[in-house]
């Protein structure tokens, strides 16, 4: 098996240096925070014969795909008890019917060229919705620049999956600027400190015996990871699934509590089912409600009878944002180390590239959108 302490071998497999990019998360959060706070919201934007008027929205829709969309899921889970208006996350080509001129549409695409997101930007224009966008470049930035819709430009040149803290920080800051949530400056200050500390602990320089990210990667190697999260850790469960899909190229499963107790828990009722190839990973917090703690404990008891691989990922930090991002940070490192254990470059995604290329050959959606928007 691969020795995760062999830095020369790590560099050979991790050709795009995702491990190095991960170590910069604290820096990325601070950078995105500083850039996002400079965002100016206009009172009005003109497009064709239409006028987009910026005011307090009655609802918000966050549009994105993959790592961009998951940033929206994180935001909703973290602030759902503070928000006074509906906020939803939308994955796909079309906006819901209720989105109108009183809706805020936040379009996120790291590359700026995600066709589903650009389709919704175009549709939002036609509905005279308030639009704010986030990207590193691409058509999304081009549209915002030429039309005048507010845009947050984030750092380019890193894998989109690694750019998650840039997009998540920008989303939170946009809501803060619009007075839809309270001040979060202290939380971000803690996040930067926590991430910089953990970057050392999880880095490739940190030896296996002192590196929990490496240890867990070995522990779940050749298993099917099943993540179960609750509350602000629920979207981390899904992020873990998608990160292991993309970085590790393995099957992974995402569940959330209490929903899992109404269906997924029944897998333990089959006396003939061997679940020893499943690694059960629980994402939660010691400060969670007592009834949720009981649910986790009962599921862990059942899992322990069927599998030798049952473990927990607990957060670090005091604020909810620090806790959420510290657990995510660990999950992301695990996904990269696991990919390396499988001797696969974590960054490459040939299947995704193949589908995109096929769509580009058969259709001209991006060209059509650009022509209609500009």
Active centre residues (catalytic) = 246, 262, 356
Beta strands in 2-138 (DSSP E): 44-47, 50-53, 59-63, 87-90, 103-108, 130-135
Q: In the 8-state DSSP scheme, what is residue 247?
A: I
8 Å CB contact between 232 and 323: yes
Neighbour order of strands in the sheet with 103-108? 87-90, 59-63, 103-108, 130-135, 151-153
Q: In angstroms, rounded to a whole number, what is the distance separating the alpha carbons of residues 11 and 29?
A: 25
Q: In angstroms, rounded to a whole number, what is the distance separating the alpha carbons of residues 30 and 134?
A: 16
Q: In angstroms, rounded to a whole number, what is the distance separating the alpha carbons of residues 333 and 23?
A: 9
The residue count for the chain: 374
Q: In angstroms, rounded to a whole number, what is the distance separating the alpha carbons of residues 27 and 135?
A: 18
C-alpha 367, offset from chain centre: 28
Q: In the 8-state DSSP scheme, what is residue 244?
A: I
What is the β-pairing status of strands 50-53 and 44-47? Answer: antiparallel
8 Å CB contact between 124 and 142: no
Beta bridge partner(s), residue 311: 281
Residues 6+ apart with CB under 8 A from 272: none
Residue 314: closest CA among 283, 279, 288 = 283
Q: In the 8-state DSSP scheme, what is residue 348?
A: -
Q: In angstroms, rounded to a whole number, what is the distance separating the alpha carbons of residues 205 and 29?
A: 22
> DSSP assignment of 340-369, as one string?
HHTT--TT--HHHHHHHHHHHHH--HHHHH
């Amino acid at each position: 098996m691969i020795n995760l302490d062999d830095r020369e071998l790590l560099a050979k497999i991790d050709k795009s240096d995702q491990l190095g990019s991960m170590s910069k998360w604290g820096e990325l959060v601070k950078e995105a925070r500083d850039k996002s706070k400079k965002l100016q919201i206009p009172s009005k934007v003109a497009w064709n014969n239409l006028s987009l008027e910026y005011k307090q929205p009655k609802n918000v829709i966050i549009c994105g795909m993959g790592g961009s969309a998951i940033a929206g899921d994180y935001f909703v889970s973290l602030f759902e008890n503070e928000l006074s208006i509906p906020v939803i996350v939308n994955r796909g080509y079309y906006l819901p019917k209720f989105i109108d001129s009183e809706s805020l549409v936040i379009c996120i695409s790291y590359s700026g060229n995600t066709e589903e997101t650009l389709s919704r930007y175009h549709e939002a224009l036609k509905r005279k919705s308030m639009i704010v966008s986030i990207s590193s470049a691409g058509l999304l930035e081009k549209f915002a620049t030429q039309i005048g819709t507010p845009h947050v430009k984030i750092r380019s040149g890193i894998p989109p999956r690694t750019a998650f803290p840039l997009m998540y920080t920008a989303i939170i800051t946009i809501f803060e600027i619009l007075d839809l949530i309270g001040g979060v400056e202290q939380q971000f200050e803690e996040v930067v400190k926590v991430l910089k500390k953990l970057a050392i602990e999880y880095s490739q320089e940190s030896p296996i015996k002192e590196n929990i990210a490496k240890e867990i990667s070995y522990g779940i190697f050749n298993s099917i990871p099943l993540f179960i999260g609750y509350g602000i850790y629920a979207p981390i469960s899904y992020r873990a699934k998608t990160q292991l899909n993309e970085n590790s190229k393995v099957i992974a499963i995402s569940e959330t509590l209490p929903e899992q107790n109404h269906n997924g828990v029944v897998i333990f009722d089959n006396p003939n089912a061997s679940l020893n190839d499943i690694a059960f990973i629980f994402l939660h917090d010691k400060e969670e409600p007592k009834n949720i703690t009981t649910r986790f404990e009962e599921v862990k008891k059942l899992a322990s009878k069927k599998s030798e691989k049952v473990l927990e990922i607990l957060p670090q930090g005091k604020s909810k944002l620090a806790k959420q991002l510290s657990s995510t940070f660990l999950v992301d490192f695990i996904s990269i180390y696991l990919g390396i254990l499988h001797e696969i470059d974590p960054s490459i995604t040939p299947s995704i590239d193949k589908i995109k290329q096929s769509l580009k050959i058969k259709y001209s959606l991006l060209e059509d959108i650009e022509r209609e928007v500009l």
